[in-house]
Structures are given as structure tokens and as C-alpha cells.
Structure 1
């Protein structure tokens, strides 16, 4: 690190680089062979519930999560998925999505995600660019993957998907795989873990390569610099976005209970905060602003909230000041993911 840092900003005149003023985080040695899934599960905690579906109330325990990740990874190996194969995920926020992510990267395969709202043409374009060999899709989205001529794993088998030739397996079938058949894969931290696509705000959307070490570094920073109190958190940012991906895997490593909403609705979000007595909220800037403007906020008991994490874009100082005026003791953090930064 440069020695000529401007104390107020961390800017180095000599290198033209901004350095963090925080103490450096402690990362695993770069030469150590380590995958993201193993690292996430290496953190010990005594939390029982990992995920809750806000709409149905369905829950997934940490014990079941660990089993399902290993069983699904075994099932993917049985289907012929190998290290460096790309797997497409087209799913809304569900409690199974983080399990799918961790299973894919645990066998050295690479995740690419697509917005469920993308058209068939947009999916075909991403498939042509990222070259996946398989797709996970909800039944109502499976036609988008099949239009790109991909074999599909359905998250559930429901009508009108009745033809067995239209999919290779269901998620529940793969969860029944014998975990004793799992074959360990040698994965280095510099191996690619994800190929997530930008939104295309300033041009065509682009796939961004991130390594296991990239994600390990982000998870480590989250754990080492966050409040040690266990979170009961609501995540309404989409899990196909890098912010949602990061937040979900970090929550697992920290031992949080994460409540997921498949479809965002502002009043329902407030009701869920009240119902589950959440202390942490992960949101995007438009929702942050809505918390300062909407009269609905006063109709719900949000007193359990202690922390708000906002990512996806920068917040204006005015919006932050307005929220602090409403919630004086609120801890507000802004999250930025540098996906292509090698640590």
C-alpha cells in the first residue's frame, strides 16, 4: 500500500489509487486449493434456520441445506457436469436458489444467471455468449431454456410440463442422490466460479468473470466487518444479480436467517419486516428512497430494524439524511461489488 495517502480519502497521489482506510481483511493463502462452497460452510454457527419463503412460510434448515448441496452436486456429477462447464440458472428468488449455486461451484462448474423476465431472444443471446451445457428453470420459465436448446432441470414437476422428454430431472429427484457417491474436485481459488451479466445500463450487457477467490474475499469482508449479531434479514434484491448472489452466500457463512420474497411488493415487504421481526434489510436504492417518502411506512412496526444494506447503485446524501431523520439509530451501509477484481 502507498505511504503517501491523503488521510481524509485514502487517495495516493503517487499511484492515483484510492485505498481503503480500514484494516485489511484476513484471507486464506492464495495457493491453498479452496472452493467457495467449502469456504462458506467452514464457518461454525448454531443457527437452525437458513431460509424462509416469505409467501408460503416454507423453511430450509442449515442441516438440510448442507445435505441438499452435497446431494445436488452428486446428482450433477451423475448427469455428466464437469469442472469448467457453465450452468444457466433462470429462477426467481426461492429458498432453493442458494443451494443450487453452492452445488454448482462445489464441483468446479460455473454459474451464469439470467433475469426471469428476459425474453427467449435475450436468453438465446446469453446462451450463445456463455455456452452453458444445462439449465435450472422453474416450470413456467423452462420454455426459455428449451428455446435455446438446453437440457433443463425443473425446480418442480407440475402441469403442463408432463412430457418427460422436456427435462432431464427435477430438483427433488437430484436431492435424493447418494452423497457417498460425491467425487471431490480439485478447485483452485483462481478458478472461475461465476459468469454473471451486467444490466447493460451503458451498453450491451456483458458477462463478468469472477473467481472463487473474488467471492471468498467479498464473503470474508462481510463477515469480518459486519455486526457479530446474527441477522434475521429480508433480501428482496434478485438472487440472479451479483448483489443478491453475494448477500445470500455471505448470509450462509455468517449463519443468518434469510427471508426471501419471490416478487417484490412494497407494502408486503413492510409487513414481512413486522411479522418476522427482522433486524436487517437488503434493498436497492429505489426502495431505500421509498422508505423515506411513502406514507405506508408509518403503518407498520419497523422497530426491530437495525441495519439497512443498499447496493446496485450509489445513494444520494439527501436520501441518507432523510432516512436517518426517520430512524436515528439505523446503521446504513452501501455495498459495491467489483466482480472482476482479482485479490
Structure 2
């Protein structure tokens, strides 16, 4: 183990260092400082002169290396014509790498023929599908921005999202098409056309993807008159507009640049190679919603590294387990509720999941107890990576190998190209072991919120630090720990109570499948901690759970608001608890 670092900083040894991430050169002098800023530098070296990484930077494509080579130096034998890129979990329908390359190029050629390019936005509104990435890649090829939209939105929510990104064209699934048309008709000046994606000819009443392409591209196969758009300023050019999680109000449009994405993909490669693992081995399971930054970045990662992804349109417990068993899934990214389902639900024991070797989990906190339960049920899983991030950080700013048994509660260390600090309410940087707000600065910080400079300035300060709103700390070895959301802290008689701590204790009880804790108003105390619980055991009582928690916490953290049993905890698609929905149904009774 390395010797402990000074109490206010953790860095490599003092020297000038530099590193490459997909051709983006960073350099920094890593001498010690005293302002509590931490920096991860000098640890990732990628040869950008060979393979497709340099080409990807030059052509703005985030694509597997072979396809980038193929685009620059066409070869009929590359990519392999039968090499599978995606498989549909329900139908076993397959899309090869060659299919995807030709389809995305043909759509890009059609977009260029229609005059779509830099400054334009292409919307994608669909459930997960084999075709989802075709318009995504085509938009990147021509230098347009891709805005991903949830097919689960209400008309009001979709209208809001579309008014943020203002897409010129929208590519939709058949199921989402009525929703898209209703929203497009009610937002003036948007969506010249709605194109329905699908691989068959059943959409006779709609403009299909095939029809749209054939209107502009007459030849079969790869188009002859098509050129890739070179992005001259990757730090400024917006590749994606994602909607923020919207847990505290209507979502905002998060602008993610080409620079952000290239840096993220390089960090993903570095993280895997630093653990001496193959980039991808076997089949990966894709059930995270692709409209979300987490799901889409995983998809791009799989495409870049020539992996095969088995795609699930929606999450269904039986389909999820059956797919892992039948396709012998080896790699799966998930959110904490799915990790809890695997660790606790008796249904899981009916399936053979021994093929699963690597798991990534993020988007919300995971307790050490839950990780231990998961590892007890699945001792064969070789590698579990927990991370911390947010849409405004492209995906992941911190990453940890959960096989490090001494630090199961940690969300990891800084990824390359990033700085971090922990600050108090006055903005002063804190040292190791002290709780404060986490702030990050570097290559994966978003450009800002689209057409919202006021909201951007509230989260990114003048020095470029992104203020996360999350409370946490780091230890002397540079490992970070999340305490809770700053806005979610419960104020009990002047004490700050983190709901995540109480939720972790509840989740360690064998009779609890899921839990959420909020503060309910109280005239005497300000707020009282109250728990909402989904049971695995019908026998467990609310009082038993109150006693279970209260026996492990200090006085201010006791569940004076009680326990209420519910069928499900409301969460957004990335697994974050929607506490505002819980606050709307409580009728607190003071138990001072």
C-alpha cells in the first residue's frame, strides 16, 4: 500500500507529467499544493498513431476502431460481414457490424443531401432497439447534434424536452410515433419530419427510415457521395443533448461535446486495461435506457470495442434473468435497484447466471452491505466496478473496483483528466476526511445547459468547477465516499441527517427489498426522518424496522417519522429516488 498522502492533497510524486486520451494531450505539474484540490494525472498512455483512435478524433466518430479504419481505407473484408454488433433479446434478430456501418452511412448521406449538418439537431425518441444507434451515428458523421428523448415521456414532458433541443428531424419507434407527432404539432417550428425506425416494411402509413434514405440515396450498399464532417473544435462542438434527471423540477438540456465523449471513452479503456482485463469478452447485456447518458455511453463503448450487445427494449425481471442464462451474458452495467434485485429476490435462484463475470453499477449510491450481499450470492463474479457521476459529467468521474474488500463503501478515485475538491458552505476547500460538496473540473465536464446561461452559471463557477450538489469526502489515499445529496439532507433540530445512511441500514435487513427515506415537516423539530419500504418478507413489521435502524444510529438520525410500506419506491429510469413524489403523500405525526 502506498504511504498516506498529505491531509489536503493526493497526487503523483512531484514532476511534470502528461498523458494522452484519444489524442487529446493534457499536461500538468503535479507538485503538491495546499488548496485541497486533487488531480489524477500521468497515468494513461494511449498510442494514438496506430489503430482508429487518432482517426476517431480527426473525423469526430466515436466508433469501434475497425470501422474507423474501414471508413478511411475501405476494404471489402473489414469489418467481418457476419460479426454481430447487436442481438434483440426478445426476437433473436441480429444486426452485424457491416449492417450497422452501411445503414448509418446511408442515413448520413441522406441527411447531408437534405442539408443537415453542423448547427442542426437530430432527435431520437425510441425504446431500446437494434436501430437506435443508426441515427445517433449518422448525426455524428455529419457534424449534427443528437438529442435523445425518452419514449416514456408524457406529451407535456416531451414538449418541454423538444423545446430545449429544438430538433430538425426526429427518428422515432413506431410505438412512440403518436407521442412524438402530438408534441411536435404543439411546439411551433420543430421537427420538419418524423421518421419511424424499423427493419421491416410494416409501417405503411408512416415515413420509414428506409423510405427516407431511398428518397436521397439511389444506389444500394455504401453510398458513393458521402463525406465525414471534420470537427475542428471538439471542446465547443456539441455532440449530444441529454435531459438532466429532473429530480428537482423540469429537466434541463445538458450539452455534451465531442471532447467530453472522446475523453470518457479513453477513460473507460484505461480503467479496464489498468485492471488487466480484456476490453470486452463474451456478450454484454443492454437494458439501460439508451436515451439516458448511462445507457448510450455504454452502447458507444460496446461499438467502439467491437463487442456484441444483447438489447432489451424494456426491463422485465424474467426476461432479464432468462437473457443472461440463454445468451450466457458475461458483462452487464446496471443501477442499484437491479443489483438489489439480484442480491435478494428468490426468483433469481431459479436461473443459471454463472456466465456473468463483470458488473458495473452506478447512477445512485450503493451501500457496502448490499455489495456484500451481492458478492455472497454471486461469489463467482470476478469483477464489480462501482462509479460516481452525473449527466453533467458525461458519465463517470470516479470509479472503484468493488473487489477491494477494504473499501466497499467507496465510489472510487478520480478518472484521468479531472480535478476534484470538497468545499464547505463558504466555498473553502477541505482536507481529507471532511464532509463537503464535491466539485469537479476537467475534460468530461459538460459545456453547459442549452440556452440557459443562468442555470449553467449556478452549477459551473467562473473557474470551471462543476458543483455537484452531492455531499462527500475523500480519504488520504484519494478514495471518495458519497454521503448524500446536499438538497436531500434532513434537518432535525439543527442536525443534518443523510437519508442514504438510513437507507443503507434498512437495505441490510433481510426483510427489505428497497427503501427510501425523506424528511417530513414537524413544527418542533423541523423535519423527522421517515422511511418508505418495499418488503421481501410479509412478516416484518414497521416497528421492527424502526427498532432495527434506531439501534444503530445516533439520536438525531432515528426514524421518528416511522415506516410506511409501499409496493414500489418511485425512481427515475437511472435509479434515482424521486423523493418529491414521496413528500406528496406523507402526513407526518411528531414522535419527539
- Give the alignment partner of residue 116 of structure 1, picking from 127, 151, 159: 151
Q: How does 1:33-52 map to 2 (within 5 A)?
A: 33-37=58-62, 41-42=67-68, 48-52=83-87
Partners of 1:284 and 1:10 lie apart in 2 by 29
- Give the alignment partner of residue 70 of structure 1, picking from 91, 101, 105: 105
**Structure 1 residue matching 2:181: 3-state secondary structure:** helix
- Give the alignment partner of residue 196 of structure 2, picking from 154, 166, 178: 154
1:252–1:9 CA distance, 2 compared to 1 (3 A): farther
Aligned to 2:44: 24
- Give the alignment partner of residue 217 of structure 1, picking from 263, 267, 279: 263
1:277–1:6 CA distance, 2 compared to 1 (3 A): farther
**Structure 1 residue matching 2:195: 3-state secondary structure:** strand
Partners of 1:9 and 1:95 lie apart in 2 by 46
Once the two structures are TM-superposed, the CA of residue 60 in structure 1 deviates from its matched residue by: 0.5
The count of corresponding residues between Structure 1 and Structure 2 is: 334
Partners of 2:283 and 2:163 lie apart in 1 by 39
**Structure 1 residue matching 2:329: 3-state secondary structure:** coil
1:231–1:217 CA distance, 2 compared to 1 (3 A): farther
Aligned to 1:300: 351
Partners of 1:19 and 1:170 lie apart in 2 by 49
Which of structures 1 and 2 has the larger relative contact order (alpha carbons within 8 angstroms, sep 6+)? Answer: 1
The 4+ residue runs of structure 1 with deviation greater than 6 A are 43-47
- Give the alignment partner of residue 385 of structure 2, picking from 303, 317, 333: 333
Q: How does 1:125-204 map to 2 (within 5 A)?
A: 125-147=160-182, 148-149=184-185, 150=191, 151-156=193-198, 158=202, 162=205, 169-174=207-212, 177=217, 178=219, 179-188=223-232, 189-190=234-235, 191-204=237-250
Matched-pair contact (CA < 8 Å) for 2:89–2:311:
yes
**Any idea what the Cα deviations from partners look like across 1:232-278, whole Å, max 9, x if unmatched?**
11111000000011000000111111001001111211110110011
Q: Does 1:100 align with 2:135?
A: yes
1:39–1:291 CA distance, 2 compared to 1 (3 A): closer
9-18 or 313-322, larger mean C-alpha shift: 9-18
**Any idea what the Cα deviations from partners look like across 1:162-195, whole Å, max 9, x if unmatched?**
2xxxx5x421235553411213322132211001
- Give the alignment partner of residue 309 of structure 1, picking from 360, 368, 387: 360
Which is helix-richer, 1 or 2? Answer: 1
327-336 or 65-74, larger mean C-alpha shift: 327-336
Partners of 2:209 and 2:79 lie apart in 1 by 27
Partners of 1:303 and 1:92 lie apart in 2 by 28
Q: Unaligned 5+ residue runs, structure 1?
A: none
Matched-pair contact (CA < 8 Å) for 1:36–1:216:
no
1:342–1:301 CA distance, 2 compared to 1 (3 A): same
TM-score (norm 1): 0.88
**Structure 1 residue matching 2:175: 3-state secondary structure:** helix
Aligned to 1:53: 88
**Structure 2 residue matching 1:208: 3-state secondary structure:** strand
290-299 or 13-22, larger mean C-alpha shift: 13-22
**Structure 2 residue matching 1:181: 3-state secondary structure:** coil
Partners of 2:102 and 2:134 lie apart in 1 by 10
1:276–1:38 CA distance, 2 compared to 1 (3 A): closer
TM-score (norm 2): 0.52
Give the CA RMSD over aligned residues.
2.9
Q: Does 1:274 align with 2:309?
A: no
Q: Does 1:79 align with 2:131?
A: no
Q: Does 1:242 align with 2:293?
A: yes
Which is strand-richer, 1 or 2? Answer: 2
1:284–1:101 CA distance, 2 compared to 1 (3 A): same
Structure with bigger gyration radius:
2
Matched-pair contact (CA < 8 Å) for 1:38–1:106:
no
